[in-house]
A and B are shown apart, each in its own frame.
Chain A
Amino acid sequence: MPAVQRTAAEERIDSRSKRVTGLRERAGDRAFRWFVAGFGWMIIALAVMVGLQLAVGSQLTWTKLGAPFLWKSDWDPVAEKFGALPFIYGTLVSSALALLIAIPLGVGSAIFLAELAPRRVSDACTFLIELLAAVPSVILGLMGIFLLVPAVRSVEPTLTKFLGFLPLFRGVPYGVGLLTAGLILSIMILPFITVITREVLLAVPRSLKEAMLALGATHWETVVGVSLPYARSGIAGAVFLSLGRALGETMAVTMVIGNTPKISWSLLDPSYSMAAVIANELTEAVGDLHLSSLIAIGLTLFAITVVINGLARLMIYRVTRRGAAA
């Protein structure tokens, strides 16, 4: 070892500074770890507490009415009769309707953006579509009241005339109802489906599309035969995320669904959703059982959305893991 003359003092300073920085780093690391771990756990604790609070708050309903609360269909706070079915029905049907409209529209436009449009046009359109996701739902609700409801009202007689043989399209043309709620929801979830589907379509390996083209496939056959099957899980994930959002959407739906706790086959009839009834009645609930029943509806909604989001996560996890392996 080439000897370098160092004074004792130099050695001491050197070793001390090494020790000091070492210590400080370790202490900082540890503090940081506890800090962020705390934040992480806080989020989990929040989710658990929300569930717990809802369970505690709705205890009265579960002990007094029990599980039949979920499938009884009368809701009369004055007579203290509570059944959640009309709200569950309204929420599920309006969300299903929204998916029915938004999936073909969203997947179709995503195919256009990912496969056909020039990259620049595609990026610009995607930006605009993302903006649509940022529109506050109360604004969409307003548009719903002023534009969509009159429009639906004017179309409904025609629907009844031509499709009235189906129980789905019978009844008085109010304008407000399940159909309008489904339409508003479809507009709200469309950006999610479109943007996520475009992303997963863009992630389809070029080599696979080329393999298909080289076999003599047309552009369209390549999309159907290779791109869509490859993107399947990702698209399903997008749909579930959107469904989670549609189920929980409150404001816009409340403004156009008609707020009538009634189960009807007809999409033209007014209905009610879980989120809407909570928003409308919570401040006016005087009876303990009424309040507790509203919270029980909240718990039900929470449970449904947790399950749906869990499924969505699973789908996305599957698609990303496969992507990493490929």
Chain B
Amino acid sequence: MVKTLAMPPQYIPDSSPQGSPGGASQAVTLEVRHLKAGYGTTPVLRDVNIKFYDTKVTAIIGPSGCGKSTMIRCLNRMHEITPGASVEGEVLLEGKSILALDPVELRRHVGMVFQRPNPFPSMSIFDNVASGLVLNGARNRPLIAERVEDSLRKAALWDEVKDKLRQPGMSLSGGQQQRLCIARALAVEPRVLLMDEPCSALDPIATARIEELMLGLKNNLTIIIVTHNMQQAARVSDYTAFMLTGELVEFTQTQQIFTKPSDKRTEDYITGRFG
């Protein structure tokens, strides 16, 4: 989008030292400011500040329960659909507060891929990918077909399914289902793709394919991936954020965080001393 590219460099400066990797000067797609979130009276996130850059993959790592998933669920406002959920703070999508946007509108720009593959069981492969387009009001059949093919190609699934587009999405293998879900999210051409442990239910080969896919996709997307797997974070991401008990401990270039982390807790975590 033009808006992102035209963003003045002054827009990027540090508002907080913790949430900005050194030396970066790319366009910011999503900026999180003083984000606090929780369920009922239990706080999960305590004042998180972070920025996500265009055409980069950002990995969020940390032990279970540190608030990784809650954080990315705040980015497309899926957190607030949980009964009793609370959110405070600001999230800016290309400079605009997402709280001012209609959540329905927001989610068309910020797509999501879940932990377990969840294709719609009542729909065919084609209809699964087309579902987001149809929700957006697309009615032109040839155009939809074109976008479906395009999305399936981007998700590296087209060759495997092109002859059985009418079969149910559930007939595919787990890894294929997850790529189908990625294609479904890509079909509406989001600006940001959130991936919540997308490979945790998959075998190593399927995982490798998805990682490979992410490297190709980031050319025109902002990808944010939550992962438990530190090797995965090291392999696919440009930036890595380490979270612990609802706080962002360290956020910097991936290479740096895995070679010389500046925080002792990060070092302990990545060297396997806890977590």
Mark A residues whose CB is within 8 Å of B.
Answer: 119, 205, 207-208, 210-218, 221, 225-226, 229-230, 232, 322, 326
Contact = CB atoms under 8 A, between A and B. Distances in A.
A119 B84 CA distance: 12
A90 B131 CA distance: 44
A216 B121 contact: no
Interface string B25-40: 0000000000000000
B104 A229 contact: no
Contacts of B131: 212, 215, 225
A322 to B, nearest CB: 8
Q: Is the interface of A mostly helix, strand, loop or mixed?
A: helix
Nearest to A221: B135
Given A211-B114, A225-B131, A216 B104 contact: yes
Contact of B135 (A207, A210, A216): A216
Contacts of B185: 214-215
Interface string B113-124: 010101011110
6 contacts: A208-B118, A210-B114, A211-B184, A213-B78, A216-B104, A322-B121
Nearest to B116: A207
B136 interface: yes
Given A218-B104, A221-B135, A225-B131, A212 B76 contact: no
B43 interface: no
B120 A225 contact: yes
Contact of A215 (B83, B111, B122): B111
Contacts of A119: 83
A119 B82 CA distance: 13
Contact of A211 (B76, B108, B181): B181
Contacts of B181: 211
Among A119, A208, A230, residue most surrounded by chain B Cβ atoms (within 10 Å):
A208
B105 A215 contact: no
Given A207-B116, A221-B135, A225-B131, A214 B122 contact: no
B188 A215 contact: yes
